Amino acid sequence: MSRYEPFFSFKWPSVVYALDILAWDWFYALSVLFAAFLFGRDKIGKVIRILLITSAVLSLVGLLGVPLENMNIRNIGIIGYAVIGPFAFLLIGKTFMKYKKEKIT
């Protein structure tokens, strides 16, 4: 074991892994949770809102892996931001393109 492993290894516990968890399971979750409330006036907006809230909640649940010292629980958070999040972002992109086209014409 090198003396730098606790800092740069992507194995728990390490500084780099803690920063990754903080970024994705905390800041990502809060940002999409707050963004979710910008959508919801039409049918696709409601779907986007549900996907963003689900993504945020799953990411926040992934934080439980740290105090429980079980990084498998963190996989729940990964599902939130790596599986559900991209679907929401695709729908957001389609929605924005629709509004852009409506504004041009």
Q: What is the residue range of 93's domain? A: 5-104
Return the pLDDT at 7: 65
CA distance 53 to 4: 37
Return the pLDDT at 18: 86
Domain count, the chain: 1
Return the pLDDT at 17: 84
Q: Is 25 exposed, middle or buried (0-12, 13-18, 19+ CB in 10 A)?
A: buried
Residue appearing with tokens 């809060």:
30
pTM for the whole structure: 0.85
Q: Could you read off the pLDDT tens digit of each residue along the chain, which spans 105 residues?
A: 577 666 666 676 788 888 989 999 999 999 999 999 999 889 999 999 999 999 999 999 999 988 998 889 989 999 999 999 999 999 999 998 987 777 776
